Structure 1
């Protein structure tokens, strides 16, 4: 069965780093992982401030969001799996430097072109760090701590995403310089983050000369393992489609329809989705995480309720939908990371995790771009409803597909 196959594969693993240094490295990587993900959502509440200054509208906002996701996808297809050969530490360090360069561009941005470049580079750094850090955490932890690995990895991802919008909103609303102070603070925080990566133990031995190419998405061997992985990957694609739709829609909806102009409140509402996802990962019963259907049920209910909030212009209804959808996203993501870690060949761990995150970030691109294009021709409520129906159909297809019980 799948667990037996995974155990046989783990027995062939490259030895993981051990001892106190490995334990310290585990928590250092988790902390920097959170910080890098935080940087990925810092710009979201600030688009409303950049738009009048740079002269762009809703479609450009959508495009900037999609460019970030595109950079992440490119990183996952080209760079992220390099750490299986070149080592985890060099790729982690490069991703932190990419985040620092992106932050500097945000500080210099006074036109849309620079904003797009900053967002794309931010996506590249996030994509590389996401897959590499997830693999490194799996190797720095002892073999008996697989549950801790999936919990910490998903908590760092979702927690960072949620904190980013909240922190940016607070800085923008109450800081001296709404679009600069938060990036100066973030840039300063990346200095100790870089040093933390440098002192983290390397877990890939022996290292090989890296060769760069556009990689084909890797999936596990064996019919049952492939089916389990693809089902989990499809579920996270639908979950991230919800988060992409939500992140693209919420700032303009709150500002234009509900007349909420407090940037901290906008950041908190976007961040709420990810914070609830984090809480769901940590606090949900194990049977909810292990099963396929609880995540799908929460996602479908969440989409339905926040759609009702959009149509009725009801903030309480929209917030209720946020809570339900966030729970579904957290459950789907936590389960998927656990499946990918368990099924991965330890010698190509980052490769399979890159495929998993490729599904996730592809899910954010499609609704963002589709919403921007549909908004040019039809009412936003109708456009959002079309995308919501597509997300629900994908979610149900993943949840209701028949399991495979034998390995071919």
Structure 2
């Protein structure tokens, strides 16, 4: 009997395990707010504890982003799962914020190791007629996992005093299951020499992809800063500005943007990638503006409406941008190219929140948030201009190709 799972089961298993990494990444959001009240650390420490995950992820991406192109997808995915399991155990027993930060950093390193390898594996295991959709599925796994992790943990912290034990005990079990599932997948990458050399920090960026990649940078900045607000800053805004302390409302608010983004990734996959990216960035701009008005008016339902609008835009924009690039990447380039995409994404996800956390005590929470929102809106506006220009170029290229075909057809006849 074959040791490996069937292709369909492998595709489903790899996608589910990848989503579990981000379920775990979203889980600490409500618990960090609870720990802040229990242990009495500052808002700056809170945002650092949240964002050190993204910094660890970037280090792993830059150092090991191309590793699975050399040693294979499965060994890298398994190493990432063991690292994630260790971080869940540290979260489970952490006695103070220092150990939580250590766990968060290790979680980021494990997720960074997993990101490019799992993205490549998802595309390679996808059925032939679903290759383009696979990029959107990977994006939905990221966003959906982050949002669902925050929601479930928020509910647990609301209704049980043992939320930390419950949440991270279950997540440790999920990682063990993930190790078993990935062990039974077959390898899709051809091993190549140069594994040690590939550990030097670098990103694979073939010349044919550079224009699309650089045009996508403001898309990622606006898109990833949007859910970072809900996952990293919204607990403080809810507690200090709205006067709300419940874990469920914190988790639900953090869930809305990423959760909607996951749904959007599937819906937007039916449309052309450029159209999805352009429409998505427009919705991010609109959503951030609505959130800004809702916070200024201290009207939480309006914040939720903005979260849904911007979340839907984030899913469409990120998934669309991945679909613009993924079909043009050669197999041996996949891990390195995805490392580049996620490096930009997670710099945008982590660094602005750290900066906001340091500025809030000096500027005040709401002025800091207003500046944060202004950056998101500005980057979204730049994205709209850039993507609209590329859309016009795409149209001109198609017309030129059609004209050449029309000219050469009579000659063939």
The reply to whether TM is greater than 0.5 is: yes
Paired residue for 1:148, among 133, 154, 163? 133
Residues 69 and 287 (structure 1 numbering): CA distance in 2 closer, same or farther, change over 3 Å? same
Cα distance in 2 between the residues matched to 1:289 and 1:247:
27
Paired residue for 2:203, among 204, 208, 217? 217
Matches within 5 A, 1:259-338: 259-284=243-268, 286-287=270-271, 289-291=273-275, 292-338=277-323
Structure 1 residues 98-131: Cα deviation after superposition (integer angstroms, max 9, x where no partner) = 1111011111211222111100011111112121
| Number of corresponding residues | 386
Structure 1 residues 48-67: Cα deviation after superposition (integer angstroms, max 9, x where no partner) = 22113322021111111121
Contact in 1 for aligned 2:258/2:311 (Cα 8 Å):
yes
Residues 295 and 288 (structure 1 numbering): CA distance in 2 closer, same or farther, change over 3 Å? farther
RMSD of the alignment, in Å?
A: 1.9
Aligned to 2:236: 252
Structure 2 length normalisation: TM-score? 0.89
Structure 1 residues 356-388: Cα deviation after superposition (integer angstroms, max 9, x where no partner) = 011100101222012112112112211111122
Where does the alignment leave 5 or more consecutive residues of structure 1 unmatched?
1-18
Aligned to 1:182: 167
Residues 176 and 65 (structure 1 numbering): CA distance in 2 closer, same or farther, change over 3 Å? closer
Where does the alignment leave 5 or more consecutive residues of structure 2 unmatched?
398-413
Contact in 2 for aligned 1:77/1:354 (Cα 8 Å):
yes
Contact in 1 for aligned 2:224/2:346 (Cα 8 Å):
yes
Cα distance in 1 between the residues matched to 2:165 and 2:240:
24
Q: What is the deviation of 1:207?
A: 4.5
Cα distance in 1 between the residues matched to 2:123 and 2:271:
22
Matches within 5 A, 1:389-404: 389-401=374-386, 402-403=389-390
- Per residue, is there more helix in 1 or in 2? 2
Residues 200 and 298 (structure 1 numbering): CA distance in 2 closer, same or farther, change over 3 Å? same
Cα distance in 1 between the residues matched to 2:220 and 2:272:
15
Structure 1 residues 305-332: Cα deviation after superposition (integer angstroms, max 9, x where no partner) = 1011111111111111111110111011
Structure 1 residues 146-199: Cα deviation after superposition (integer angstroms, max 9, x where no partner) = 233123212221111111001111222223412222111111121111100111
SS in 2 for 1:313: coil
Deviation beyond 6 Å, 4+ runs, structure 1: none
Contact in 1 for aligned 2:61/2:339 (Cα 8 Å):
yes
Contact in 2 for aligned 1:241/1:391 (Cα 8 Å):
yes
Cα distance in 1 between the residues matched to 2:361 and 2:149:
29
Cα distance in 1 between the residues matched to 2:367 and 2:323:
36
Structure 1 length normalisation: TM-score? 0.90
SS in 2 for 1:375: helix
